[in-house]
Amino acid sequence: MKTKEKYHYIDTLRFLAICFIVFAHFDGECFQYFMGSTLSQLYFTKDSVTGWLLYGWTGKYALALLCVISGFLSAMKCGRRDHDAGEFMITRYLRLMLPVMGANLIFGIWLTILGEQIDVAMYLKSSITPGFTGTNRNLWCIGSFLIGNILICLLERIRNRSSMGIWSYLPLLAVLLILQDPWLFAVVLGGFVYEFAQGFKEKQLMNNWWLLGIIPLVWWLPRGEESTWMYYRDILAAAVIMTTFHCLPVLQRIMSWKWLGKLKQYSYSLFVVHGMTLFLLGPTWGIVQKLGIDGFYVVFASLFLMTFAIDLVIAIVVYYIFEVKAYKMIVKYLLPEKKQNQPEITGRVA
């Protein structure tokens, strides 16, 4: 019987990070278009009343956490000595790209129905090329997810065969740092964070409670406007978060949020489709006006909730048809001898 190793807190952290990314894109790209101002300008700027707490918290902060989680889960899975590297690369590509294919298909059909002319070649390229932004400019980071996951897979395979320590990650991280690719660096760092945190967890130094003292670093680290330097700061904060949570089961229980149920399963599909639904903001804005909704905050909440609901409905469709059904069918065809009794670790993508 298939066993599952569940990490509900990781599902929760990923879901919250994606929700924040959806919020940031809606606030900066859509709400400002209609209202001329954003919620971020009121509460997330340096001189705002909540700037001491929220300044520097942008969508890139959430993306940094997604990247670290992606590498963290890949190392967790690839660290098993019986792990098949080839199988991992195939299934990882499918996990990442099938929802993209599904989203492109749905929106391509929708635009065609509306009479819009679409570039079929561009849609096809976007559907098979991780990180290509021809149809959705918010999906550039998928290339970093895939390449970073593959690098971790290969490195873990070398480590398993040669008994190399976790410090074998450092040369690769140094190269990525020199190349100034913060998001690929963040994914690979996530692999190192898992191995590092696992070592702390096993040693149980003072039951690891002392790690609570480093959580404030998430706020104390220097904050500023978006830049490559600040991205690395966000990545470091994400590494602190994942290390602390992995070592302290009490935090895992607090953040399990099982009451969200299946909602967390739709996280990646939600991330994939949210950038494509922005063109629906026009009709949504029309509904708000017809209902006579007025006031900055009420308009924001109404528009955001309606847009999020549309995103979620489409994400659920993409999830069940492409992340579940299509994935199982294709894997069964490509990997007919895939072992069905291996532990399954949640966190399929990020």
Distance from first CA to last CA of the chain, Å, rounded?
26
**What is the torsional sign of CA 203, 209, 213, 214?**
positive
Classify 38 as helix, strand or coil.
Answer: coil
Domain layout of the chain by residue ranges? 4-20+55-344
Angle of CA points 251, 254, 258, to nearest 5° = 130
Span 2-39, pLDDT tens digits: 334 568 999 999 999 999 999 999 998 888 888 888 99
Nearest Cα residue to 272 out of 59, 148, 107: 107
Query: What pLDDT, on a 0 to 100 scale, did the predictor assign at position 181?
Result: 93
CA 170, CA 241: separation in Å to the nearest integer?
20
Residue 231 confidence (pLDDT): 94
pTM of the model: 0.91
Confidence of residue 344 (pLDDT cuts 50, 70, 90): very low
Residue 340 has pLDDT above 60, yes or no: no
**pLDDT range class, residue 205, cuts 50, 70, 90:** low
Q: What is the pLDDT of residues 165-199, one digit of tens each?
A: 888 999 999 999 999 999 999 999 999 999 999 88
Distance in angstroms (rounded) separating the CA atoms of residues 30 and 15 = 21
CA angle in degrees (0–180, nearest 5) for 89-139-105: 85
DSSP letter at 36 equals S
Q: Which residues are paired to 4 by β-bridges?
A: 344
Residues 6+ apart with CB under 8 A from 266: 312, 315, 316, 319
Q: How far apart are CA 35 and CA 44, in angstroms?
A: 17
Give the position of tokens 């692999």. 191
Pick the closest to residue 9 from 231, 144, 197, 146 (CA basis). 197
